[in-house]
Amino acid sequence: METPTLPKPDPVPGQKERLSYSIHEAAELLGVDYYSVYRLIQRGKLRACRALRGKFLVPRTELLKLLTNE
Amino acid sequence: MLKRNGQPCQRTVPDYPGRLTDFEFLAYNTVFGGIEGNYRELALLSDSITHTEHSFSDVLAASSAPSEEGTHEIVAEKNGRQWEVISSLLKQRQSELLLCKREGNSTKEFAIVEKLAPNSPLAKARGMWFVHQTSNDARLLLQDFIENERQTLNLYANDIVASAQEKIDEKYPGEDMSRVIKAISVRCMKKSVLEEKANPIRHRQRAHGVRM
């Protein structure tokens, strides 16, 4: 199987690999509605962490896991 | 007249029983304007889930009807396992939640399947039919699905409130905006909870026999 890549979004110039993504960015990377990302988190199929003020962040490694069918 | 720090508190906002000062009211409108799109989306999703809850018995009847060849769409997971589509449960912009079933010699299995956009990276990795839950009991599966969707709405509502808090901290540093955030929180959370009286399947524990 091809190794999945996460080519976008990359809004920080010069920073090639992000450590984590917002829900909207994760949705864009997975090609799903952002509500589907919340669903994946709620069902335990995608791990996320809480950032400042409780907003969700999805670690890059967790997105890659989902895209490699682990 | 109720006053706070010498300011009259006369302003009311939807779903919040308290009163806001003119300054808080202005802040509420400014911040809520920034999250209104998400709030509307939350309200639409909540209505859709409520609609699914109200069609519970129809969906259940459809799930127990005998299968007739050619009447339902057949879909296949990436591993080749096939499912018959019984009913659409929730439509989103890029995907759709479906109740599916498969029958063996003497067994039936039901699943909540998300139909993904075929060209999405997730569909390419996992297949376009993403199985969320399975069970041999359609009723338990549907109950669990609705409960999970409510919890998902709650996660979404909490994230909207966190965004509102960010905007408040940005625009009004050092100001006590606790009532404003409380008012926004109450309004968002109201959309993520169920109409208690209308729904007979609320407040059950995670159904046994449902696999995630």
CA atoms within 13 A on the CB side of B152: 22
Nearest CA in chain A to B169: A53
- What is the tens place of the pLDDT at every residue in A26-70? 999 999 999 999 999 999 999 999 987 888 999 999 999 999 865
Are A67 and B148 in contact (CB < 8 Å)? no
Chain B interface, mutation test: which of A42, A47, A68, most B Cβ atoms within 10 Å? A42
d(CA B56, CA B108): 19
CB atoms within 10 A of CB B55: 14
- Between A and B, how many residue pairs show a Cβ–Cβ distance under 8 A? 80
Task: Give A28 to chain B, closest Cα distance, Å.
Answer: 9
According to the per-residue pLDDT averaged within each range, which of A31-35, A65-69, B102-106, B203-207 is highest? A31-35
User: Angle formed by the axes of helices B56-64 and B138-171, to 10°?
Assistant: 140
CA distances from B14 to B20, B27, B28, B45 (A): 12, 15, 11, 19
Nearest to B158 by CA among A28, A53, A40: A53
- Residue B197 predicted with pLDDT over 50: no
> Which tokens sit at B190?
């109201």
A61-65, B83-87, B101-105: segment of lowest average pLDDT: B101-105
> Which tokens sit at B189?
């959370």
Q: Which amino acid is at B5?
A: N
**What ipTM was predicted for this assembly?**
0.84
Cis peptide before A9, with omega less than 30 degrees from 0? yes
Q: So what's the pLDDT on residue B56? A: 87
Chain A interface, mutation test: which of B31, B124, B156, most A Cβ atoms within 10 Å? B156
Out of A35, A43, A56, the one facing B45 most closely (by C-beta) is A35
Q: DSSP string covering A14-50, please?
A: T----SEE-HHHHHHHHTS-HHHHHHHHHTTSS--EE
Q: Is A55 on the interface with B (CB under 8 A)?
A: yes
Q: Is B156 on the interface with A (CB under 8 A)?
A: yes
pTM of the model: 0.84
